[in-house]
Chains A and B, each alone.
Chain A
Amino acid sequence: MSAFATVFRKELLDNLRDRRTLLSSFSIALLGPLFFVGLMAFMLDTAIGESSEPVSIDVIGAEHAPNLIGYLHTSNVDTNSIDLEDPALAVRSGEHSVILVIPNDYGADLASGEVAQLRIVHDSSAFGSARRGYRAAQSAINAYSRSIGLRRLMVRGVDVNVIDPIDVTSIDTASPGARALTVLATLPYLLLFVVFMGGFYLAIDSTAGERERGSLEPLLTQPVDRGPLVLGKIGASATFALMSLLLFLIAFTLSLPMVPLEKLGVALTMTATKAGSIVVLCLPLLVMAAALLVVVASFAKSYKEAQTYLSIVILIPTLPAIVISFLDIEPGLPIMMIPSVSQALLVSDIISGDPIANSHVAVSMLATTVAAAALCYLATVLYKREAILG
């Protein structure tokens, strides 16, 4: 067996037995998709609920305003009649979320043409149904008030347009689920992170960890070139990154059907073909990530120091990808030459089923392979220095 294969096998065996390495390498890969899918499902749910589901508010003194209550019902606001001394306290304590208070003299005021008073007690820091209830009640009452006002003007023979010097119509083109779909845009960065985290601990354990344990010097006295030794370590780290990526894709594929995407009319599916394409596309990135981690960890004097360095290093590949998503740069050939950014863009296209140019894939894989080879070479050079013994 070659030295490369010997080191590769030993590092895999050694690290597969380490619960800490396994936990940190693969927990993100497994939990990431669940969190992601859960977030998406939640956002979709709220988005869809906002547009169609009726909201419900509590009303004190509903008997004073039967017409208003009827109007609220036709506006999709359910009412629930209650009797309370202190509505503000009830809302503050969280017992009720939105309370409409109708005073005794509401009907009399309205009939005599006075300004009738209503109060809505709510908590503006609340989320979800409380906020929707407040908004829906507020706008329904405004509309009701306005309709009464218009009728009064008409009765007096005044053109109703007098009070409408400006008419604004806003057209919202966003579909209810568009916000939920923006979550999808973060998926490629999560994927990059998963790849780097996969190789993270093995890279530290087999370099800085090996030195700290004092097993590096005996290893280097073996009659083996240092090149295959380092490459074996990089290979093992890349294999952990691959396992992490596979776990991530499996978890994502299995959990995606839980998102009610069909309610949006969005056809987003994860197939074995897509997953396979992502794996192939990311192969050079796996090696590059492993080599980068090993190179940086080789500078560290101890396990802890390596952890500190690498925590910063794994941010680097995700940062340009995030910046580019903000700048909204068209994915062209030059961008495809940047490792990690190109994978983020292409993975996003693969998942959403958009067509991707073969030239883009080729440039991405070639450029990342070159970067990976350069880092592997750098790692072997570093291991030939005497300072590697620390």
Chain B
Amino acid sequence: MIRADGLSKNFGAVVAAENVSFSAEDGKVTALLGPNGAGKSTTLRMLCGVLAPSRGDAQIDGISVASDGTAARRQIGALPHNAGLYDRLTARENIAYFGALHGLSKAELGARIDQLAQQLEMAEIIDRRVQGFSQGQKVKTAIARALVHDPKNVLLDEPTNGLDVMATRAVRDIVLQLKAEGRTVLFSSHVMQEVTNLCDHIVIISGGQVRFDGSPEALRQATGMDSLEESFVQISEAATGVAS
């Protein structure tokens, strides 16, 4: 369960996020949508406690990020935008590094990584060095790294960015698995079609503000459009004042 409460962030005079409030429920997939530069990454960074909000707070399973960031971060598995791996380490070593930072013992780590490798279908590459991995293999490794401590809440910042169709489908399957396991999944995207079949809840951000918060069905009704994409474009443009 993730709750954003009036999150605002200024970088100097630039307002990156303003009064962003929404919640992402357990066992549901919440999509954070918005055009490039809308404030999605800034919002996710504030939820992870990497950026301190100028105003507002966020709660992860009821733990305040502002007052107890370390405890809140324990509940999160995050895949930041364009997250990089360590090329000279194997996939297993990459995953184990973050697991050890979460305080997992060596025995726990071994079992958990084997389980993740099974689940994400990466058993063949798990002991290979990351150098030379395909984009899809890298994203799988990065997701496994984010899930190593079995977090209740998973934040994925544009996880399908730069992936081909097969890899995109693999990521989608992972998201559905996570949902089936009862986790809170919050992912950001600017690609509509990957959202359509996947999410239970949509939050649209544009110009740093929340423009819509509800189910895909509600979004279609609110805009009177059949397709989500049309709805998304209408809302985004209305917010930024672009005439269509």
Contact = CB atoms under 8 A, between A and B. Distances in A.
Interface of B: 45, 48-52, 70-71, 73-74, 76, 78-89, 93, 97-98, 100-102, 142, 145-146
A3 B101 contact: yes
Contact of A13 (B74, B84, B89): B89
Given A218-B79, A222-B73, 19 more contacts: A3-B101, A7-B101, A10-B86, A13-B93, A17-B88, A213-B85, A213-B87, A215-B85, A215-B86, A217-B80, A218-B83, A218-B142, A221-B73, A222-B101, A222-B102, A223-B71, A224-B101, A225-B70, A386-B52
Contacts of A10: 86, 89, 93, 97
Interface of A: 1, 3, 6-7, 10, 13-14, 17-18, 213-215, 217-225, 386, 389
A231 to B, nearest CB: 14
B5 to A, nearest CB: 20
Contact of B80 (A3, A6, A221, A224): A221
A224 B82 contact: no
A218 B71 contact: no
Contacts of B98: 218-219, 222
B241 to A, nearest CB: 30
Interface centre among B82, B84, B145 (most CB of A within 10 A): B84
Contacts of B87: 213
Contacts of A1: 100
A214 B83 contact: yes
27 contacts: A6-B100, A7-B101, A10-B86, A10-B97, A14-B89, A213-B84, A213-B85, A213-B87, A214-B84, A215-B85, A215-B86, A218-B78, A218-B79, A218-B83, A218-B98, A218-B145, A219-B98, A221-B73, A221-B80, A222-B98, A222-B102, A223-B101, A224-B70, A225-B70, A386-B50, A386-B51, A389-B50
Given A217-B50, A218-B98, A223 B74 contact: yes
A214 B161 CA distance: 14
B149 to A, nearest CB: 9
